[in-house]
Structure 1
Amino acid sequence: MHNDQQSSNWIAVCQLDDILPDTGVCALVNGEQVAVFHVVDGEHRVFAIGNYDPNAEAAVLSRGLVGSLGERIVVASPIYKHHFDLQTGECLEAPEHSVNAYPARISEGKVWVAACI
């Protein structure tokens, strides 16, 4: 998994207004499909994880349903309904099928994702 300590290039992927609250979109970041989510829970936050669901063998996570399980903000994959933690990329039902998580932020009305190198 990627973290802020690694060297990274920030890439603007879209305007924040391009993502409806509590939904996701898919963006191409350094040649990889990344699912980018706009979550509103009192404040506007963004998260980015790999878009490819290894359980379903399909690039579909950006189309999943955003919600929470306890304190965790998750997306439920649209195919097998596995839950992925939006902060860590961990697959709660099958941790061996977790995905990468990428730093994401909002700046000047845009959504930025760090492409770790």
Structure 2
Amino acid sequence: METLVNTSWLEACRTEDAIENGGVCLKLRDKQIALFYFTRRNEWYATQNECPHKRQMILSRGMLGSLGDTPKVACPFHKKTFALDTGECLSGDECAIETYPVKVENGRVYIALTTEVTTHSPIPAMQ
């Protein structure tokens, strides 16, 4: 068996449609993605929208901030904080969130999603 990884850059929005120092929820393929424009840092981040603490789709409504040099988002319900660049939980818990690469080109924001496909080797012919 061999696992093939395919990365696709999907258009998320126009830069002018983003909320400054905040987030929006997008559905790309079958995933709810939280896209953040951290204006004060001039940086873009994308994470899963689900807070793993109570499994609620709410992170896009979280408050942005920094812990030292680490950009973070706080869940608006339970105040669990997550690093936007790595997904690490900064509240001391063992849960983490998935993060996605983001790029901006020609006034458009793109998010990279990967898919994995496992291929099976053909059965050798009997001789």
1:61-100 equivalent positions in 2, closer than 5 A: 61-100=59-98
CA distance in 2, matches of 1:19, 1:35: 11
Runs (4+) off by over 2 Å:
none
SS, match of residue 111 in structure 2: strand
CA RMSD of superposed structures (Å): 1.4
CA distance in 2, matches of 1:34, 1:16: 16
Percent sequence identity is 33
Deviations 1:25-54 (A, max 9, x none): 011122100100001235x32100110001
> How high is the TM-score relative to the length of structure 2?
0.81
Q: 1:50 to 1:113 in 2, by over 3 A?
A: same
**Structure showing greater Rg:** 2
1:1-117 equivalent positions in 2, closer than 5 A: 7-41=6-40, 44-117=42-115
- Tell me if structure 2 keeps the 8 A contact 1:45–1:105: no
- Tell me if structure 2 keeps the 8 A contact 1:34–1:48: yes
Shift of 1:96: 2.3
The total of aligned residue pairs comes to 111
Structure 2 residue runs of 5 or longer lacking an equivalent are 116-127
> How high is the TM-score relative to the length of structure 1?
0.88
Give the structure 2 partner of residue 3 of structure 1. Answer: none
CA distance in 1, matches of 2:102, 2:93: 22
